[in-house]
Amino acid sequence: MLKIEKLKVEVGGKEVLHGINLHLPRGKVHALMGPNGSGKTTLIMTVMGFSRYKVTQGRIYFKGKDITDLPVHERARMGIGLAFQRPPIVRGIKTRQLVEMCAGGREVDVEAIAGELNFTEFLDRDVNLGFSGGEMKRSELVQLMAQNPELVLLDEPESGVDLENISLLGRAINRLLERDLKPTEGKSLKELRAQRKKSALIITHTGHILQYVNADVGYVLIDGHIVCSGNPKEILRTVERYGYEECAKCLR
């Protein structure tokens, strides 16, 4: 689904990512962990194609196609969706309008999607204007549910979200990623899981979201290098106990 090869990225003339390799297969969820400033956001913003993030070396492939030089909207139309960590305020555009734009002409039940994320009262407010951190996260997810991308990039979806809403958020992400499967007649869960098409790359600093969304593989990013990949729960436990300093040892 997503393949990143030897990717080097500069932001404001300074190299932030120093040769990232990553392979995210169809139907899988990968978690990206690491301390602040390690380059997690840079990595997913580069996958989405934002102009501030300059690829100086390496390629990005999505569904087998080289997308390294494609503009943002073409990547979105190919099926990449991003939930921003700090989305900008857009005055004069109502959140409802934006959610409709996300659907790209398809029929979507905006009310139902918003209802699921306890977000209905925000639909008629300007995009992100006066939203709290948690409200922005829910807004981002409502938009993604309307967009329904094949590859979902989530940048710290849980930060700033209160306890009351975090399980709502977890449930919505699982639905977005076809992870809310129930056994049906004729097919086992195992078979259903094998049919999943949605993939995700989730940035998490605290790991809280992984209590709600099962990740298949975890990575640790330190100073622009992936230093480790493996079982996400195990990585998280190590970090909780010994901090990212322990991971930094592998950088040497």
Partner 1 sequence: MSEIEKSLPAQRDLLRVGVDPEEKERCGTFLQDNDKVVLCGVHQEGVDLLSTREALDVLPEAREYLWRALREDPELGEFQNGYFIRARKGVKPFFPVQSCLYMSREGMRQHVHNIVVVEEGAELHIITGCTSSVRRGVHVGVSEFYVKKGGKLHFTMIHAWGDEVETMPRTGVIVEEDGVFISDYICMHPGKRIRMYPTAYLVGRGATARFHSVLVAVPGALTDVGSRVYLQASDTRAEIVSRAVSMGGTIIARGHLIGEQPHVRAHLECRGLLLKEGGLIHAVPELEGRTVELEMTHEAAVGKIAQEKVEYLMARGLTEDEATAAIVRGFLNVDIMGLPDALKEELDKIIQQSDQESL
Query: Residue 61 interacts with partner 1 (CB under 8 A)?
Result: no
Interhelix angle for 133-147 vs 163-176, to 10°?
20
Binding mask 13-52 for partner 1 (x = CB under 8 A): -----------------------------------x-xxx
Interacting residue with partner 1 among 12, 13, 64, 92 (CB under 8 A): 92
Q: What does residue 207 show for φ and ψ, rounded to 5 degrees? A: 85, -5
CA distances to 42, 48, 74, 157, 238 from 146, rounded to whole Å, are 25, 18, 17, 17, 37
Query: Residue 95 interacts with partner 1 (CB under 8 A)?
Result: no
Interacting residue with partner 1 among 84, 119, 131, 212 (CB under 8 A): 84
Interacting residue with partner 1 among 27, 81, 157, 224 (CB under 8 A): 81
Contact present, 168 and 212 (Cβ < 8 Å): no
d(CA 39, CA 33): 10
Query: Residue 102 interacts with partner 1 (CB under 8 A)?
Result: yes
Query: Residue 82 interacts with partner 1 (CB under 8 A)?
Result: yes
Pick 50 or 61: Cβ nearer partner 1: 50
- With CB under 8 A as the contact rule, which of the stretches 77-85, 108-116, 197-205, 226-234 interacts with partner 1? 77-85
Interacting residue with partner 1 among 72, 108, 192, 248 (CB under 8 A): 72
Query: Residue 200 interacts with partner 1 (CB under 8 A)?
Result: no
Interhelix angle for 133-147 vs 95-102, to 10°?
30
**160 closest CA partner among 97, 125, 206, 193:** 206
Interacting residue with partner 1 among 1, 7, 32, 98 (CB under 8 A): 98
d(CA 212, CA 78): 28
Q: What does residue 229 show for φ and ψ, rounded to 5 degrees? A: -140, 150
The footprint of partner 1 (CB under 8 A) covers 48, 50-52, 71-73, 76-77, 81-82, 84, 87-88, 90-93, 98, 101-102, 104, 126, 143, 147
